[in-house]
Structure 1
Amino acid sequence: MNAAQETKPDNKGLKKEVSRRRTFAIISHPDAGKTTLTEKFLLYAGAVELAGSVRARASQQHTASDWMTMERQRGISISATALEMEYQGFRINLLDTPGHQDFSEDTYRTLMAADSAVMVLDSAKGIEAQTEKLFRVCRMRGVPILTFINKMDHPGRDPLALLDEIERILGIAAVPMNWPVGEAPSFQGVYDLRGNKMLRFQRTEHNRFRAPVQVSGIDDPALPELLGQAAYDKLVEDASLLSGAVAEFDLVRFLNGTMTPVFFGSALNNFGVEAFLNAVLELAPAPVARETEQGVIDPASDTFRGFVFKLQANIDPRHRDRMAFVRVCSGKFEKDMLVLNPRLKQEIRLSRAFKLFGRERVSVDEAFPGDVIGVVSPGLLSIGDTVTTGKPIDFAKIPVFPPEHFAILVNDDVTRFKQFNKGLEQLEEEGAIQVLNSEDALRREPIVAAVGELQFDVVLSRLEEEYGVKARVQRLGFCGARWIRASDGAIPRMSLSTGMRRCRDKNDGIVVLYNSKWELEYFQKENPGLILSETS
């Protein structure tokens, strides 16, 4: 019986657990408010007592999702984080992703583990480059997207123009679920178009909003007095425009990724966040069936299956171990269960598994589809691996990106040679960098290859923080790399131009580094028998 033909067990308990799970990622351009919104979600779910600020000030409460020293110093998200919480009977698995493009590889992998996504936009900036790039990844996978337009209590663009931009640039229908009333600095709140409620914003010491005011509709005579005549007239005018220009919300179109519900609010000032979180839980899908090369996998299948989408070493300095982030896709995980890793053709006992909350961990005895668990299994799990109690199976491939930045990494303390090598090995396993060794005998220091230049800063920071090694980088002028093999399978002979460099990767594969597109084209012309690949 193949994977696609497996019968679903008559297990109401498993189906109930699946139905109450919501696993979603939060995506945005840097500084749109993604991490702030994440923290407010945690606050409403009771997962934290005081929401942290992402601003890099020593006096402020740290965010739960940004736990690295460098993240806290710079006020940016560097590494994707899993946060699990309970809220109103739902089990939420929230995946907070880096916004900066230099860490987009980690974000892309994390999106593979999500069933839906929350897209955060700055009301003054609209669709920005990284937001558009991450949206395209969601669109390719058909991931449903909910949109939160942030910072409405600050001067921004016209809401109708923002809706038009979403539809024009992203090619997706945008349907407002609430509508802002007043413009900053006279922002009054949002009108709930579905529930006919007015959520009024009130600037106080803690920036709280007044309780929602229930009205009978946009024509309720209480609204002009509540809002003021000018603000009410503008709301009526906008509502009239929306009724003729915007499609009605269609759940089917949302679930297939061609329509996004749009909400307005202010994450920093805690306005509209609770209503948005409730909408996410109402609209976002429970764990869905997944396509594999062996057929469609239903989450309610009795066979346990999951895949590794992230590795992270030294999350907690008290443990100094390597954690594999496993997304559960079907069946029930149980502590100490024996699973097959098809890549190694080896069985692994998952005896050290944890539920995750940023850098915090708690031992877990069971998990269900949609959950993300951390598994400590040194050397036995890699990014993209599948674990299963059934027959071998292959989920969609985790994307790999070609490096664009290169630098020589110099260890300034030769007495810590072992720590230096261990740190590089673990960072490479995480997929943040690739380590190359030049075949030029004059240079023994490793060459670090990365998708984004900020990864070099991360490497230096983590080597010092986690391994006690001080190092420095010497930037190289190469703009790209190609992995080389010969069409006949023999060790390739090649002619290199003066500026190119031949290296070996961790698997002893041959890599050449080049300085320009012209140089690469010339190399291809001079070596017609070679097969070139952007990735290993």
Structure 2
Amino acid sequence: GKTVIEAERRLIDNLESPKLNEEIGDQDAAQLREDVELIHGVYDDFEREEYLAGRTAPVFFGSALNNFGVRELLETFVKISPAPIPRPATTREVQPEESSFSGFIFKIHANLDPRHRDRIAFLRVCSGRFERSKAFLHVRTGKQMRFSTPYSFMAQKKEIIDEAFPGDVVGLYDRGDLKIGDTLTEGEQFTFTGIPVFSPAIFKELINTDPMRDKQLRKGIQQLTEEGVAQLFTQRIGNRLIVGTVGDLQFEVIQHRLSAEYNASCRLKPLSYHKACWITAENAKDLDAFMQYREAQIAWDKDKRPVYLAESGWMLQSIIADNPKISFRFSSEIAAS
């Protein structure tokens, strides 16, 4: 199939080799040589240092549908990719060479198989060695967790693995215990930091069109937003559910998945909010007074943190100027501690 990387390959030394003509014919070989010469004239030579510095990106030519160039892309990626780097945590910087295991959840996918309502949490190993069925500390809850069927993925193919090392990504079956930003260790108490959430650009109210399926709708939108597909804000006035995204396409995906995976129907009503700002204050009374004064624009994110929904850029600047005791932030680090 198109997701399988074939083991058999016919290799040639270079494009001038006569073996190329034997394999694909004189006409196609000539066309290939001409096309590659054109590409060399347009693009600079690849330099790994420039790539690692984030100044250039490699360009690959191939076809996943026809399984052409897939293996070469993966092999090249292994060669040019950066080695695992140190990761900042709440108490110290974690080095990939450390012997003690640590890692964090960076993605969750619900209903990977809709028939079983399962969730896969994707773990990035940051240090030490991850081992199948070994007990690890879930720092946020303080509980020990074991994973008897950890997976590695290649396109649609997955296989159970026994161990993983820094830089590896492991798929863990999850019953709802894990969320993005969670840290797993061999016992040390720290949480990896630096996983930001940015203010959405588009806001819409989620309105249930089938009251008999309200429970399914709420469960579905909660699980989908836990994946990071969008952000969910709840307004206590009227118990409104507000979904925020960076683009309209995400709303279409959410609506389709709610229908297909949770059998829940809804409509999305556009809202004229300009930006979501996470608000804090040194004095809790100052924060409470502000939230009471601007109650109609206050919502709560999925981690129960207050958010001010600004109606316009001008209004936001005015509110910031009039409330110096309130801190307004346009991004928020994922809460996992």
Contact 1:325 1:375 in 2 (8 A): yes
Contact 1:342 1:392 in 2 (8 A): yes
Aligned to 2:96: 298
Aligned to 2:243: 448
What runs of 5+ residues in structure 1 fail to find an aligned partner?
A: 1-38, 47-86, 89-191, 203-208, 214-222
Contact 1:304 1:390 in 2 (8 A): no
Q: How does 1:66-465 map to 2 (within 5 A)?
A: 196-198=14-16, 211=23, 227=30, 253=49, 256-257=52-53, 262=58, 265-267=61-63, 275-285=72-82, 287-293=83-89, 294-299=92-97, 301-358=98-155, 361-440=158-237, 443-465=238-260
Instruction: Give the AA of the match of 1:447.
Output: I
Aligned length: 323
With over 3 angstroms needed to count, the CA separation of the structure-2 counterparts of 1:256 and 1:231, relative to structure 1, is: closer
> Is residue 2:18 matched to residue 1:44?
no
With over 3 angstroms needed to count, the CA separation of the structure-2 counterparts of 1:525 and 1:360, relative to structure 1, is: same
Contact 1:499 1:514 in 2 (8 A): no
With over 3 angstroms needed to count, the CA separation of the structure-2 counterparts of 1:298 and 1:210, relative to structure 1, is: farther
With over 3 angstroms needed to count, the CA separation of the structure-2 counterparts of 1:314 and 1:275, relative to structure 1, is: closer
Contact 1:497 1:523 in 2 (8 A): no
- For residue 274 of structure 2, the aligned residue among 461, 479, 491 is 479
Question: Which deviations, in whole Å up to 9, do the C-alpha atoms of 1:18-38 show, x marking residues without a partner?
Answer: xxxxxxxxxxxxxxxxxxxxx
Q: CA–CA distance in 1 between the matches of 2:200 and 2:39? A: 47
> Is residue 2:317 matched to residue 1:521?
yes
Contact 2:51 2:58 in 1 (8 A): no
Contact 1:504 1:511 in 2 (8 A): yes
Q: CA–CA distance in 2 between the matches of 1:499 and 1:295? A: 40
Contact 1:483 1:532 in 2 (8 A): yes
Q: How does 1:24-39 map to 2 (within 5 A)?
A: none
Instruction: Give the AA of the match of 1:465.
Output: A
Question: Which deviations, in whole Å up to 9, do the C-alpha atoms of 1:103-125 show, x marking residues without a partner?
Answer: xxxxxxxxxxxxxxxxxxxxxxx
Contact 1:315 1:359 in 2 (8 A): no
Question: Which deviations, in whole Å up to 9, do the C-alpha atoms of 1:275-295 show, x marking residues without a partner?
Answer: 55543344445x434333423
Instruction: Give the AA of the match of 2:124.
Output: R
TM-score (norm 1): 0.51
CA drift at 1:246:
5.8
CA drift at 1:376:
2.1
Aligned to 2:335: none
Other structure's SS at 2:100 match: coil
Question: Which deviations, in whole Å up to 9, do the C-alpha atoms of 1:56-91 show, x marking residues without a partner?
Answer: xxxxxxxxxxxxxxxxxxxxxxxxxxxxxxx99xxx
Contact 1:492 1:530 in 2 (8 A): no
> Is residue 2:302 matched to residue 1:506?
yes
With over 3 angstroms needed to count, the CA separation of the structure-2 counterparts of 1:515 and 1:412, relative to structure 1, is: same
Contact 2:88 2:194 in 1 (8 A): no
Instruction: Give the AA of the match of 1:533.
Output: R
> Is residue 2:285 matched to residue 1:467?
no
CA drift at 1:522:
1.7
With over 3 angstroms needed to count, the CA separation of the structure-2 counterparts of 1:332 and 1:413, relative to structure 1, is: same
Contact 1:499 1:515 in 2 (8 A): no
With over 3 angstroms needed to count, the CA separation of the structure-2 counterparts of 1:411 and 1:212, relative to structure 1, is: same
Superposition RMSD in Å: 4.1
Instruction: Give the AA of the match of 1:513.
Output: L
Aligned to 1:170: none
Question: Which deviations, in whole Å up to 9, do the C-alpha atoms of 1:432-487 show, x marking residues without a partner?
Answer: 222223243xx344122223222221221111111111111111111212222333
With over 3 angstroms needed to count, the CA separation of the structure-2 counterparts of 1:197 and 1:395, relative to structure 1, is: farther
What runs of 5+ residues in structure 2 fail to find an aligned partner?
A: 333-337
CA drift at 1:496:
9.2
Question: Which deviations, in whole Å up to 9, do the C-alpha atoms of 1:243-294 show, x marking residues without a partner?
Answer: xx967x655x257436758556343676655555543344445x43433342
TM-score (norm 2): 0.77
**Identity within the alignment, %:** 33
Q: CA–CA distance in 1 between the matches of 2:243 and 2:57? A: 42
Instruction: Give the AA of the match of 2:113.
Output: D
